[in-house]
């Protein structure tokens, strides 16, 4: 996506004092002609990029100008996003920002601002190793990682970095990084693409997350409530496209993580949904319902 390439180009210019079009093309995997067009788009979006001639010439950001973490002001970020989405060059960043707003944080939640974000961002921009102390699901561990990129998912920040003897790309939640220390630089893999890696890792995570299925019947209202449980359940409901029986109930098969988690999640749907299979899930929901009823009847 063009918007992602423009962001990457801006970060490269911000990390180096000056860069030639040839070097930028090699770093981003595109042609010199594409780099020149991208430079024009950055300038059109209000980013002060200037050209310097001579043997040591190239492109550089205006002296004294430095973007915030994302490399963009809110107006510039939104202008560049819509440039990539629509294929047009926005001439007025303020005009676009006044009409479109991007909010990545989920409802009833506040944006996460980890204290270690600036230091980690600096390591990402400058290809610098980090020694981190991380509170993972197996406990607190010390690791040396090679930062490849930052991702914001539903308002939470994640670091994608190479780690371990195999140098595999792993994901670390920034709020779980208890301490860090910058180390020396490393050589970034030339073919690594953050967006592609993230999409693949999410797909693998979801495939491993949903280890079973449940067959349920639900009313129209129940189907609507099921869709709110997760994207995977919503997709299963859409794919089923089942016809209602005489009483208006639909039969669908949905993915579940485990009997315990599914029992808690399906209670949100209430009496508009009934589990048919597996039997252990039926029993667990019935037990939960009895416990809740007893609590409120006492």
Reported as a single tens digit per residue, the pLDDT across 46-85 is 678 888 887 778 888 876 555 444 444 545 555 555 554 4
Return the pLDDT at 216: 96
- pLDDT per position as a tens digit, 240-276: 877 899 999 999 999 999 999 999 999 999 999 999 9
Containing structural domain, residue 228: 210-297
**Are residues 8 and 88 both part of a single domain?**
yes
Q: Say yes or no: 220 and 190 in one domain.
A: no
Model pLDDT, residue 103 = 65
The number of distinct structural domains making up the chain is 3
Mean pLDDT over 94-117 rounds to 66
**Percentage of the chain exceeding pLDDT 90:** 37
> Residue 121 belongs to a domain with what CATH number?
2.30.30
Q: For residue 283, is it within any domain? A: yes
Higher pLDDT, 148 or 92: 148
202 and 222 in a single domain? The answer is: no
Last residue of a domain, one of 175, 191, 208: 208
Residue 166 within a domain:
yes
Tell me the pLDDT tens digit for each residue of 28-39: 888 888 888 888
Could you give the 3-state DSSP secondary structure of residue 7? helix
Q: Is residue 137, in this structure, part of any structural domain at all? A: yes
Contacts 24+ apart (CB under 8 A), 8-15: 9/35, 9/38, 9/39, 9/42, 10/42, 10/47, 10/67, 10/71, 10/72, 11/71, 11/125, 13/49, 13/59, 13/60, 13/61, 14/61, 14/66, 14/67, 14/71, 14/125, 15/125, 15/126
- Please report the pLDDT score of residue 114 as a whole number: 80
Domain-embedded: residue 26: yes
Which of 162, 179, 208 is the C-terminal boundary of a domain?
208
């Amino acid at each position: 996506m063009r918007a992602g390439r423009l962001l990457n180009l801006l970060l490269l210019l911000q990390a180096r004092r000056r860069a030639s079009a040839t070097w930028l093309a090699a770093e981003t995997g595109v042609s010199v002609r594409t780099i020149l067009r991208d430079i024009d788009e950055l300038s059109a979006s209000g980013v002060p990029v200037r050209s310097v001639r001579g043997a040591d010439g190239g492109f550089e950001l205006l002296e004294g100008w430095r973007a915030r973490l994302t490399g963009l002001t809110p107006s510039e970020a939104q202008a560049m996003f819509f440039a990539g989405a629509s294929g047009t060059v926005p001439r007025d960043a303020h005009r676009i920002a006044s009409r479109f707003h991007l909010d990545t944080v989920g409802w009833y939640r506040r944006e996460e601002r980890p204290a270690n974000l600036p230091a980690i961002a600096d390591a990402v921009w400058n290809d610098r190793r980090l020694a981190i102390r991380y509170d993972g699901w197996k406990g607190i561990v010390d690791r040396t990682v090679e930062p490849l990129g930052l991702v914001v998912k539903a308002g939470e920040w994640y670091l994608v970095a190479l780690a371990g003897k195999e140098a595999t790309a792993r994901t670390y939640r920034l709020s779980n990084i208890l301490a860090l220390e910058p180390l020396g630089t490393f050589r970034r893999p030339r073919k690594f693409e953050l967006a592609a890696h993230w999409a693949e890792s999410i797909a693998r995570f979801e495939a491993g997350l949903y280890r079973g299925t449940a067959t349920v019947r639900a009313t129209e209202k129940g189907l609507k409530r099921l869709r709110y449980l997760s994207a995977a359940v919503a997709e299963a409901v859409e794919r089923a496209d089942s016809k209602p029986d005489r009483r208006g109930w639909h039969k669908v098969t949905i993915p579940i993580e485990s009997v315990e988690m599914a029992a808690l999640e399906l209670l949100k749907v209430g009496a508009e949904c009934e589990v048919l299979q597996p039997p252990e899930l039926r029993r667990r929901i019935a037990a939960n319902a009895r416990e809740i009823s007893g609590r409120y009847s006492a």
